[in-house]
Amino acid sequence: MRCIAQFIVAKRKEGTYLYLAEKDKFDDVPEALMKSFGQPEFAMIIDLDKREKLAVVDIIKVKQSLQEEGFFVQLPPPPDAALQTIRNKNEKL
């Protein structure tokens, strides 16, 4: 079975993405997650069988979650400690 995912961007949460096993099928996504996610915005369709890896997340975990749960949530990576210190100082300016 081919593994193709619809890639959705979260409007409310920068750097957060949702992979769906079936196009526009949000039935498997918990309601609380959808509310926090905001209005989903289509980004692209990804053929995961034609990729060996993804930029930020483990492709094996994505495929497994799509098969078992029908979706996968990609959260932004935690900020680097040094970068976070700089951001905190810049917020005070």
Is pLDDT above 80 for 93? no
pTM confidence score: 0.76
Considering its fold, how many domains does the chain have in total? 1
Question: CATH number for the domain including 73?
Answer: 3.10.510.20
Question: Residue 74 CB: number of other CB atoms within 10 A?
Answer: 19
Strand order across the 41-47 sheet: 41-47, 4-9, 17-20, 71-74
pLDDT tens digits, 55-75 = 888 999 999 999 999 999 998
Determine the structural domain holding residue 52 and report its residue range. 4-91
> CA-to-CA distance for 42 and 18, rounded, in angstroms?
10
